[in-house]
A and B are shown apart, each in its own frame.
Chain A
Amino acid sequence: MADVLTVLALLLVAVAATAAVAVRDPARQALVLAVLGLALAVLFTVLQAPDVALSQLAVGSALTPLLILLSVRKVRRRGQREDGGR
């Protein structure tokens, strides 16, 4: 019965990762990626690797979404400027 937690965490990681691939819009993908990071952190903790979970949380919860959303915003602005120039 001790494996219930591990199996559940693995299942959540699999579902979240599949969703992250299936969602096509990058801004929404960033949200799914953040949730995938949370699921991975739980999995690492359940597997007794809190140090890995700590770095996963530090990078995954704030830094990755910030980078993705800033990139999306910059690309969109550049696209609008080029459209306006024509």
Chain B
Amino acid sequence: MYQFNYHKPASLDEAVALFREADDPMYLSGGMTLLATMKQRLAAPTDLIDLAGIAEMTGVQVNADAVRVGAFTTHNVVAGSAEIQQALPVLSQLAGLIGDNQVRNRGTIGGSVANSDPSADYPAAVVGLGGTVHTQQRSISGDEFFQDLFETALQPGEIITHIDFPIPKRAAYRKFPNPASRYAVVGVLIADFGGSVRVGVTGAGPCAFRASGIEEVLNEHLDPSAINGVEVPDAGFNNDLHASAEYRAHLVKVMARRALSDLLKT
């Protein structure tokens, strides 16, 4: 066991102040990545700042054109929320596909988005639905939030407070899960905003991105066969023992076709 200081601030201001004063601090949300990393001694922060006590980071609000989810909301709450199931069913469905039940009970949307794991599910929703990430000091567009492998637009000390998702006419998410971890080898979310289509992809590259080639053809013909002719370049795609870059590029089209078939049935 190694020593670290544990803090549980009651407000954002207090959390940020603790972060600024500490030597090598980390914020703790659900801890589904960070705690596992610490147990393996692969991270050893001097100060762990638990965000569980901050009231303004919790809660779900639904209005006519958007769903607002507090950053500390767990995946199971999003999956089981009657309000979200009614207004934005694709988000509940996506949350229900994350990891296993234990992870869904502890893991949070803010933690997942801030971590920007290349295979996490939520980034596909932030990008595919054109969400907005709010922090204690500013708002960041979903298109600009994810920058690279584990790299986001967040500055050191910045905390995600909540995320807004615009409500599309209809949307669907399909992923090819790793059978052990349930991480997305590739996941594709397609949203139809009545006239414009957005396609968010996770798992394929270093971070979530929009598949602009697929968006272009779907804006012309909202039909799964339209995706067949699109070139998805695999340059820079993830390449590991689970799947090659080339295979992932192929999966992007397969998952996009399946998501679109689901979308057209709704």
| A and B: interacting chains | no
